[in-house]
Amino acid sequence: TQLLEQSPQFLSIQEGENLTVYCNSSSVFSSLQWYRQEPGEGPVLLVTVVTGGEVKKLKRLTFQFGDARKDSSLHITAAQPGDTGLYLCGSGNTGKLIFGQGTTLQVKP
Amino acid sequence: DTAVSQTPKYLVTQMGNDKSIKCEQNLGHDTMYWYKQDSKKFLKIMFSYNNKELIINETVPNRFSPKSPDKAHLNLHINSLELGDSAVYFCASSPSQSIWRQGSTTPLHFGNGTRLTVT
């Protein structure tokens, strides 16, 4: 069974700082999705990465897929309080999507 | 125009009771899921239904019984509730279970969760 490990588990930063969160696996990802979950809501897809080495940008968010497709990172530039939430990486496996344990991000004004 | 809706939003009940959570999606998707999110925010799949047929059962206690009357609805009934059942339960849907293959970019659509508290 593929396991996804995310780090760090918790991150509390000031508005304007940069940060990176990581998602790693012992086996190769077929594809990887990043979701953000805000308090009281369900996770919402941010991006899907498929090709090793792929980089995708979503405004201030940059997603990178490792060359060997066993790791991924999410970098946020100049974090805003609106970026606060739980960031989850997920990978498809045998008809289901499994998730890492998530990174809880708090951005203080 | 809510895509995946689940009710109730909050559920507080005593140990030993039986309760149900309802889920409906208006996206025309074939596959629906129940996930459980524990107090540490870990989101774990419980069940998956494809066109009303159970296709994934992740070793969930048989006190949990999902029911899909049609492909737009997936309900979750829980018997003899225990303290450890306290969690947030999320319903989700996707076009089909076969989307989880290489190159798939289709998202999972989640409801806003049901917070179950067992006292």
Report the residue of chain A nearest B38, measured CA to CA: A101
Amino acid code (one letter) for A17? E
Mark yes or no for CB contact A99/B42 under 8 Å.
yes
What is the per-residue pLDDT for A24?
Answer: 95
Name every chain B residue with its beta carbon within 8 A of the beta carbon of A48.
104-105, 107
Give the nearest partner residue to B100 out of A50, A95, A101, using CB atoms.
A95
In sequence order, what are the residues at sequence separation of 6 or more whose Cβ sits closer than 8 angstroms to the Cβ of residue B61? none
Over residues B71-89, the pLDDT tens digits come to 999 999 999 999 999 999 9
Q: How far apart are CA A58 and CA A56, in angstroms?
A: 7
Query: How large is the average pLDDT for residues A93-102?
Result: 84
Place of tokens 């774990």: B44
d(CA A98, CA A44): 15
Region of poorest pLDDT, from A30-44, A47-61, A82-96: A82-96
Residue with tokens 């870990």, as numbered in its chain: B42
CB A88 within 8 A of CB A99: yes
**B33 min Cα distance to partner chain A (Å):** 9
SS3 (DSSP) at B35: strand
Confidence tier at B103 by pLDDT (50, 70, 90): low
A44, A55 contact by CB (below 8 A): no
d(CA A15, CA B1): 34
Q: What's the pLDDT tens digit per position in B37-54?
A: 999 999 999 999 988 888
